[in-house]
């Protein structure tokens, strides 16, 4: 399983409403698979309605699947169909043998593996079905027997039937993230006559040197008043008798090139479409160049993504760059989730006393 995705930001943060308080809930969905091989399938003597069952199985005993360890399932197959309506078919079902809760919702997909070990004849549920202990869901007419037994179709290599089941289950553990206290409104956007320009505007004006990792900013005079006014630091460089003003050029050595591009994109357009991917580094750059609106946007993105794994680093980042709202939320997260014990930190009080 991949790591839990970063929660999406609500709308376009540069123009949309900003909530004073919000909650983000991520419902975990766990995917795993199971393979069942039946040897000498053509000799199965089961009659219509009679059943073969696989061994019981549960999810892999890994940390990411702890919520499913005590859900046991099996596959159930009727080689000659479930009833008169399906007597010419193989019927296939997923059965919930036992579980610690009253119910669980899951999607599933069945397929056959052919002689090349490729999935074929797949059928999947169109929605998440409600499973209770002893309940099964599946397909009464999964595949026609005559098609399955035809050697030309290659579905029974060496008379082995191999069934493959993929299972997608809603994990009952939910992860909630809640933040309060951020400003009701972002700092207002500054007028910018270039806001309607495409992102290529940024690339026209920013030269990234791969050899020195230096960001070189060359700005046409017609853009100074509107665009660089977003950053008082840049504005001061070009308006006063400084070296940057004389050369109409500034070199920046302490910002990652991709972060620098995103910062300049914000300066020119008022938007930062890649903010959620680099919010931590972008926050540092926004603080250095006094981009208050961008800084608040970064704080909100980081608040939305607080977790046990990153809260300590986020708290340090907030403290370094005077991001008071983010710092408050990180401390609140630590207090609410008791992550100090999980992280093995004994002196967490020092964080909140600064």
Residue with more model confidence, 330 or 12? 330
End-to-end CA distance of the chain: 38
Q: Can you give the pTM of this predicted structure? A: 0.46
**pLDDT confidence band for 198 (50 / 70 / 90):** very low
Q: Which residues neighbour 22 within 8 Å (Cβ) at sequence distance 6 or greater? A: 10, 178, 179
Query: What per-residue confidence (pLDDT) applies to 334?
Result: 81
β-pairing, 136-144 vs 21-38, is unpaired
The torsion angles phi and psi of 341, rounded to 5 degrees, stand at -70, -40
Angle at 105 between CA 140 and CA 54, to 5 degrees: 50
Query: What per-residue confidence (pLDDT) applies to 193?
Result: 43
Q: How far apart are CA 142 and CA 139, in angstroms?
A: 5
Q: How far apart are CA 113 and CA 189, in angstroms?
A: 58
**pLDDT confidence band for 70 (50 / 70 / 90):** low
Q: How far apart are CA 315 and CA 126, in angstroms?
A: 43
Query: What per-residue confidence (pLDDT) applies to 278?
Result: 93
**Mean pLDDT across 43-69:** 70
Greatest mean pLDDT among 27-31, 74-78, 305-309: 74-78
Query: What per-residue confidence (pLDDT) applies to 37?
Result: 94
**Mean pLDDT across 324-333:** 86
Contact status, residue 179 vs residue 303, Cβ threshold 8 Å: yes
CA 128 to chain centre: 20
Instruction: Map out the domains of the chain with their CATH numbers.
Output: 21-177 (2.60.210.10), 190-352 (3.30.710.10)
Query: What per-residue confidence (pLDDT) applies to 279?
Result: 93
- 283-292: pLDDT as tens digits: 999 998 888 8
Angle at 184 between CA 181 and CA 187, to 5 degrees: 115
Query: What per-residue confidence (pLDDT) applies to 346?
Result: 47
Query: What per-residue confidence (pLDDT) applies to 350?
Result: 43
Buried b (16+ CB within 10 A) or exposed e, 76-113: bbbbbbbeeebeebbbbbbbbeebeeeebebbbbbbbb
Strand ranges inside 39-160, DSSP E:
52-53, 72-78, 89-98, 104-113, 119-124, 129-131, 136-144
**Mean pLDDT across 258-273:** 85
Buried b (16+ CB within 10 A) or exposed e, 267-306: bbbbbbeebbebbbbbbbbbbbbebebbbbbbbbbbbbbb
**Mean pLDDT across 185-213:** 42
β-pairing, 104-113 vs 72-78, is unpaired
Angle at 178 between CA 348 and CA 311, to 5 degrees: 35
Contact status, residue 129 vs residue 106, Cβ threshold 8 Å: yes
Q: How many CA atoms lie within 13 A of 134 on its CB side?
A: 1
219: tokens are 């700005």
Query: What per-residue confidence (pLDDT) applies to 47?
Result: 85
Residue with more model confidence, 278 or 23? 278
Radius of gyration of the chain (CA): 29
Query: What per-residue confidence (pLDDT) applies to 225?
Result: 44
- 117-159: pLDDT as tens digits: 999 999 999 888 888 888 899 999 999 999 999 999 999 999 9
**Mean pLDDT across 32-49:** 88
β-partners of residue 108 are 167
Angle at 301 between CA 209 and CA 231, to 5 degrees: 50
Buried b (16+ CB within 10 A) or exposed e, 130-167: ebebeebebbeebbeeeebeeeebebbeeeebbbbbbb
Query: What per-residue confidence (pLDDT) applies to 11?
Result: 44
Contact status, residue 314 vs residue 281, Cβ threshold 8 Å: no
β-partners of residue 167 are 32, 108
**Mean pLDDT across 271-280:** 91
Give me the sheet containing 136-144, strands edge to edge.
Answer: 52-53, 72-78, 89-98, 136-144
Q: How far apart are CA 236 and CA 232, in angstroms?
A: 6
Query: What per-residue confidence (pLDDT) applies to 149?
Result: 92
């Amino acid at each position: 399983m991949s790591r839990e995705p970063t929660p999406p930001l609500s709308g376009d943060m540069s123009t949309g409403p900003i909530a004073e308080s919000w909650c983000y809930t991520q419902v975990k969905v766990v995917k795993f698979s199971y393979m069942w091989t039946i040897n000498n399938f053509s000799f199965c003597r089961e009659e219509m309605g009679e059943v073969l069952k696989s061994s019981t199985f549960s999810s892999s005993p890994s940390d990411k699947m702890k919520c499913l360890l005590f859900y046991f399932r099996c596959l159930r197959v009727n080689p000659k169909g479930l009833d008169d309506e399906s007597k010419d078919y193989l019927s296939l079902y997923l059965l919930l043998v036992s579980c610690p809760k009253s119910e669980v919702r899951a999607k599933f997909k069945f397929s056959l593996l052919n002689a090349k070990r490729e999935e074929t004849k797949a059928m999947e549920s169109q929605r998440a079905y409600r499973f209770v202990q002893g309940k099964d869901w599946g397909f009464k007419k999964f595949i026609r027997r005559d098609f399955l037994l035809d050697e030309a179709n290659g579905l029974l290599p060496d008379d082995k039937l191999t069934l493959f089941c993929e299972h997608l289950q809603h994990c009952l553990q939910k992860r909630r993230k809640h933040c309060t206290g951020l400003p009701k409104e972002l700092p207002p956007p500054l007028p910018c006559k270039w806001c309607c320009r495409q992102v290529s505007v940024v690339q026209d004006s920013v030269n990234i040197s791969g050899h020195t990792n230096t960001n070189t900013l060359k700005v046409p005079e017609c853009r100074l008043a509107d665009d660089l006014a977003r950053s008082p630091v840049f504005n001061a460089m070009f308006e006063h008798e400084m070296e940057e003003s004389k050369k109409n050029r500034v070199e920046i050595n302490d910002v990652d090139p991709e972060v620098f591009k995103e910062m300049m994109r914000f300066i020119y357009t008022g938007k930062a479409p890649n903010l959620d991917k680099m919010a931590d580094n972008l926050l540092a750059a926004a603080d250095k160049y006094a981009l208050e609106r961008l800084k608040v946007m970064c704080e909100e993105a980081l608040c939305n993504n607080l977790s046990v794994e990153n809260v300590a680093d986020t708290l340090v980042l907030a403290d370094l760059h005077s991001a008071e709202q983010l710092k408050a939320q990180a401390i609140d997260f630590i207090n609410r989730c008791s992550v100090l014990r999980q992280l093995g930190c004994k002196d967490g009080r020092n964080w909140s006393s600064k």
